[in-house]
Structure formats: structure tokens, C-alpha cells
Structure 1
Amino acid sequence: MSTDGIAATRPLQPRGRLRDYLAIARFDHMTKHVFILPGIVLAYVLRHPAAGIVPLHILMGLMSAVAIASANYVVNEWLDREFDAFHPLKSARTAVHRSLSGPIVYAEYGLLVLVGLGLAMQLGPLFAWTSAAFVLSGLVYNVQPVRTKDRVYLDVVSESINNPIRLMLGWTMIDAATMPPSSLLFAYWMGGAFLMAAKRLAEYRDITADGGAELLPRYRRSFGRYNAENLAVSCLLYAMLSAFFLAVFLIKYRQEYIFALPFIAALFASYFWLAMLKGSVASRPERLFRSKRLMLASFAVVASLTILTFIDMPFLNYLSAPSFVQVQP
């Protein structure tokens, strides 16, 4: 069914008001910018900047990230309004049940992009280019003819690239002259892919359990080729790739952090467990803070990394060197 056909079957909607245009920017989703914080912390720990942490830079950087993310949300909700009508939860979104003006929506998008990039340019070229990549990722994900969100597997990989982008934003708030290690960027990217695949798994399980399997491809075309099995397998693949790149980073830059891996594995397991529950918050990442189990696992990871930052273990150099046990014949 074409989007024109869908629109024709919908009842007359009330005209959008100012608060409706603000709602589609989803400022309440700014909790997702927590993924910026590790970039700030790691840049400070690994680079030891002479200027230290400059609060104004962090404030401007966060404001820039929030503005660009909200711009991406605006174009996402506007272009998805006909498809979201088939989703049991997203059908309640503002753009679905309110009649919004296209020119006003695009003006809102443009204003948010200008604010975000304008602030970004005050923090140096690297931060500005990273912010531009943040804008581009939203267009590639949502806008035809590319619209990667409709392409199986590519939807997860392209959406999760916002994770390393956020890491870069945090890092360049502290050190504007360098990039984070590539191993860390890939670990963050694959970790984000795990989160997005788990989100789709939670959506798939919930909607099919309620008898809405035929609506899934109408909500998002990529669901036409997804099922519970390949989504679960992809979660495993992304988790293993993230762990691999993370181990490379830990061994290369601070071997002591390797002891945090069991806690990180428990965090991944906790999130996957959430995705397997009916009505899981994994399908609505902005509500993850409501899961006590996940918050406890996250606290354990942060605590272990914090402790290991201040504990040196020289014997790890010996353990990481190649050695063989010789047996006398």
C-alpha cells in the first residue's frame, strides 16, 4: 500500500500547535546522550589535556549534540508518520495523529541543524566535522533514495553509527586535535548495533505475540526479512565483535581494564535478557533507566573501570608476553 493510500484512509486530524512541533523534536530523548560521557572521560584519562576539562566546551558540545539529534528526530517522525501508524506504540506519535505543516517541519529541522552546527564550529574543525557526520547520518537513515532504515541489517548498522559519532563528540570536547583509537570506535559501533538489533528483536517478539506480524513490514520494510532467529543471531554477532574490538583497545591502552570485561559481558547479557521479555523497555531505549537490573549492571561496569583507572598491575606485561612450557623428554 502506498503512503498516499494510507493517508486517504485516515480520519481528518486536528491541526498541529506549537507544542506539537516541539514534541517531534523529542527533547525528552536527550538521555541517549549518555553515550557521549565515555568519550569525555576517556579523552581526559588517556590524553591528559593541559587545559583539563573546560565546562563551557562540554556545555556547548552537549547543546550542539542535542540540537542535531532533535533535528534528526524531526525528519524521522515526519517522514515515518504514515508507517508509524501501523506500530502499536508509535501510532501515538504526534506526527501520526496531528496535521503538521511540511514547510514548518522543514524550517524546524533547518533551524535545529543551524544551531547545532553553529555551536559545533566554536569547538574546532574536528568537532564540527563530526557534527556534520551526525547530521548526514540522520539523512542517510531516513531520506529516500537511500533510506537505510528500510534495508535489512543495514538499518541496524547505519543507525548504530551514531554511537561512535557520540563518542567522537565527547572526545573532541576534551581533545580537539586527536581522534579516539579506531578499536574503541569500532567497539562502540558494534555495541550500538547490538543495542539496535536487540531493540528490533523486542519489537518483533511483542508485535508478533499480539498477532500483528502482518503489520511489521508495513511499519518498516526491513521487518519483511527479519525473524526472531536471525535477529537473535545478529545480536550475538554484534556482541562478539564489540567484545573483540574492546579487548584490543583495553590491551593496547590500559591492560588493567581487561578485568572489567566480565562486568561488560554481564551488561550485554542483562540487555539481551530485557529484549526477551514481553513489553520490554529494550524496545524504547529512552526508558532503559527504569530497569534496576540494567542500571545495576551499568554501575558495576562504571565502578570497575573507575577502580582500575587508579590501580596499576605491572605483572600483566609478563602475562601478555608469549611463553611456552618446556617439558624435558
Structure 2
Amino acid sequence: MPTNQKSIPVVGTQAAPQGRISDYLSLARFDHVTKHVFVLPGLVLAYALQSPALPALYFNVPVGLLSAICIASANYVINEWLDREHDAAHPTKSTRRAVVVALRPSIVYGEYFLFAITGLVLGYLIGTLFFLTSIAFLASGILYNVRPMRVKDKPYLDVLMECLNNPIRFLLGWAIVDGLTLPPVSVLVAYWMAGAFLMAAKRLGEYRDISATAGVAVLSKYRRSFHYYSEESLMVSCFVYAMMTAFLSGVFLVKYRVEYILVFPFISGLFAVYIWLAARPGSVVQRPERLFHSRRLDVMLAACIVVFIVATFVDMPFLDFVATPSFISIPVLR
């Protein structure tokens, strides 16, 4: 990774103050730990479908979650460090510590490798599948942030790569419970597309707010991919990702557990609330760590979780007709 970048930003006409320990730790974004809720569906589904022994979970769950947090923090460190010049053009991200404080590159990269190695070591203790998925988690951060790849600068690929962390987190949750099999591809891709919807909605919120106040030129300085976006294209992409999520989820439930059809109305409601939030000025979707400040979103998410858990552990044979071909006979009039 490049190390020959300026380490001392300038605020106004004066050199920025030297960074303290708290400034370096802020790069790890521990306030984003709520994103690891995306690990839980993989864990719950693997437990429901595979019925593992409980004793192993008492070790795997806390160690696995700690591993995921460490690797995510490593990705955040490199993201915030390499984005500091771009973040300076963002209305709110311009206050990040990497922008306003002078940080030493050697310490930043040392922090990155410390979190990365700790996460991989903990992942190795879980098993092969979890360890390999942890490597993929770490690699996604490099592909997303580091030149010459730096996928975040490419339209649509920026969304698809960033939300690739969703199926990776799902697979981490699955591997915590079952390290010998892979989850259904349909549910992994559905999870990916759901993440793409959330990320595209975040881009939409950013586009609407920043372009209205500062102009599209500022957006392009913050993130190059915005040069190719429009409000219409982002809205259409949200619609496509939502449709793909619904289709692939349907494939999964028909093949594996028809009870999940009960979750569909609540997922639809969750998507509706999210796109409604994205359309509001100063929307919380632009800062995922603050999503739980929306009461409507909290209520809809809680309902989804409750119905998902019930549908996972309660068999409902009366729903079998949904996956059984049938035709309604029309009486013939004579």
C-alpha cells in the first residue's frame, strides 16, 4: 500500500495539530460495530438448517464476532486514511480526524496491520471456512480503497464492492456455526443485492443533499463515481437491487423454507422506510452508524427480526401450498 502520501493536512493557513492516540483509534470507527448485525442472519440460518452442537458456539460466537470487528476496523483505518483528501470536500466527512489532524503514516499502517493480523488469528481459531472468509473480508477493503484497483471510484462497481461485505458477513455468521458447508448461493446473492439497495439509497441521499447545496462538482471531488451518477440513475439502481433481492429470496424460500414467505411483507416495509429516509434532507442513511436513531426504521427492523426468528424455528405445514403447483378448476357451463 502506498506510504508516500502527505501526512500533515493543512487547516486554513496553519498546519494541523499532531494526532493523539484517540485520533488514531477513531480511524477504526468502533461506532460502526452495529453493522455486524448482518452476521446474525447467517448464524441463525445455519443453526436452524444444520442443528450444531451448542458447546462449540459458546467459543465460536464471541471469538468470531471479535474477529469480524477487528477486520472491519482494519478496513476502516485504511479507508479513512486513503480517503482523507477526498473527504475534505465532503460537508460532514471533512471533520474526520484524518482530515483535520496530522497523523503519522507509520502509525496508521501499523494500526491497520495490528487489527488485520489480530482478526485473522482469531478467525483461524474458528476454522478453515471462517479464516478464508476473513481473508476475503480483508481483501475487499484493499480492492475498494487502494490504487490501482480502488473500485470505489467506478460507478455501480463502488456500490457492488462495498456491499459485498454483506454476504461476507453472512458467510462469517454461517461459518461460526457450520464450517463444513456453504450456505445456499441464492441467499448469499440476495443478501448482496439487499446490501446494494441500502448502499445505492445512501448514494441517493448524498447526491440529493450535496448537489442541492454545494453542487455536483463537489460530489465528484468527494467521490469520483458521482461524476457518472444522476438522481434518476441512482433511483433506478435502487429499484433493480430491490427486485433482485425479492427474486433471489423467493428462490431460496421455495427450495429451503417456505415459512420465510411471512417475512416478505416486513422486508418490503423495511425497504420502503429506507428509501423514504433516503429522500429526506439530511437523511440518516448517509451515516449508517446513526440508522438506529430512526424510530420507524427501528420498529420495522425489529418486526423483521421477530418474524424471521419465528419463521426459522416454527414449522407451518399449511404454507406448503405456496411451493406446490396447483390450478383452480373453472366449472364448465352447459
TM-score range, shorter chain: over 0.9
Amino acid at match of 1:207: I
Q: Measure, in 2, the Cα distance between the counterparts of 1:318 and 1:8.
A: 66
Q: Is the alpha carbon distance of 1:7 and 1:50 closer, same or farther for their aligned partners in structure 2, counting shifts above 3 Å?
A: closer
**Alignment partner, residue 159 of structure 2:** 156
Please state whether the residue corresponding to 1:152 is helix, strand or coil.
coil
Q: Is the alpha carbon distance of 1:309 and 1:25 closer, same or farther for their aligned partners in structure 2, counting shifts above 3 Å?
A: closer
Q: Is the alpha carbon distance of 1:135 and 1:319 closer, same or farther for their aligned partners in structure 2, counting shifts above 3 Å?
A: closer
Q: Measure, in 1, the Cα distance between the counterparts of 2:229 and 2:271.
A: 21
Q: Measure, in 2, the Cα distance between the counterparts of 1:156 and 1:242.
A: 15
Among 130, 134, 141, which residue is 2:133 paired with?
130
Among 10, 21, 24, which residue is 2:24 paired with?
21
Assess if the C-alpha contact under 8 Å between 1:127 and 1:173 holds in 2. Answer: yes
Q: Measure, in 2, the Cα distance between the counterparts of 1:300 and 1:53.
A: 29
Assess if the C-alpha contact under 8 Å between 1:64 and 1:120 holds in 2. Answer: yes
Q: Measure, in 1, the Cα distance between the counterparts of 2:202 and 2:264.
A: 23
Is structure 2 residue 149 aligned with structure 1 residue 146? yes
**Alignment partner, residue 269 of structure 2:** 266
- CA displacement at 1:178 relative to structure 2: 1.3
Is structure 2 residue 126 aligned with structure 1 residue 94? no
Question: TM-score, normalised on structure 2?
Answer: 0.93
Q: Measure, in 2, the Cα distance between the counterparts of 1:64 and 1:24.
A: 17
Q: Measure, in 1, the Cα distance between the counterparts of 2:268 and 2:114.
A: 41
What does residue range 130-209 of structure 1 map to in structure 2 within 5 Å? 130-209=133-212
Q: Is the alpha carbon distance of 1:312 and 1:51 closer, same or farther for their aligned partners in structure 2, counting shifts above 3 Å?
A: closer
Amino acid at match of 1:275: A
Among 32, 37, 45, which residue is 1:34 paired with?
37
- CA displacement at 1:312 relative to structure 2: 2.9
**Alignment partner, residue 64 of structure 1:** 67
- CA displacement at 1:317 relative to structure 2: 2.9
- CA displacement at 1:175 relative to structure 2: 1.0
Q: Measure, in 2, the Cα distance between the counterparts of 1:218 and 1:152.
A: 14
- CA displacement at 1:9 relative to structure 2: 8.4
Assess if the C-alpha contact under 8 Å between 1:44 and 1:52 holds in 2. Answer: no
Please state whether the residue corresponding to 1:172 is helix, strand or coil.
helix
Question: TM-score, normalised on structure 1?
Answer: 0.95
Amino acid at match of 1:142: N
Q: Is the alpha carbon distance of 1:160 and 1:178 closer, same or farther for their aligned partners in structure 2, counting shifts above 3 Å?
A: same
Q: Measure, in 1, the Cα distance between the counterparts of 2:176 and 2:137.
A: 15
Q: Is the alpha carbon distance of 1:9 and 1:93 closer, same or farther for their aligned partners in structure 2, counting shifts above 3 Å?
A: closer
**Alignment partner, residue 113 of structure 1:** 116
Assess if the C-alpha contact under 8 Å between 1:52 and 1:174 holds in 2. Answer: no
**Alignment partner, residue 234 of structure 1:** 237
Assess if the C-alpha contact under 8 Å between 2:48 and 2:313 holds in 1. Answer: no
Aligned length: 326
Assess if the C-alpha contact under 8 Å between 1:44 and 1:53 holds in 2. Answer: no
Structure 1: segments with no counterpart, 5+ residues = none
**Alignment partner, residue 253 of structure 1:** 256
- CA displacement at 1:189 relative to structure 2: 0.2
- CA displacement at 1:320 relative to structure 2: 2.6
Among 290, 293, 298, which residue is 2:293 paired with?
290
Q: Measure, in 2, the Cα distance between the counterparts of 1:52 and 1:8.
A: 54
Q: Is the alpha carbon distance of 1:7 and 1:101 closer, same or farther for their aligned partners in structure 2, counting shifts above 3 Å?
A: closer
**Alignment partner, residue 305 of structure 2:** 302
**Alignment partner, residue 49 of structure 2:** 46
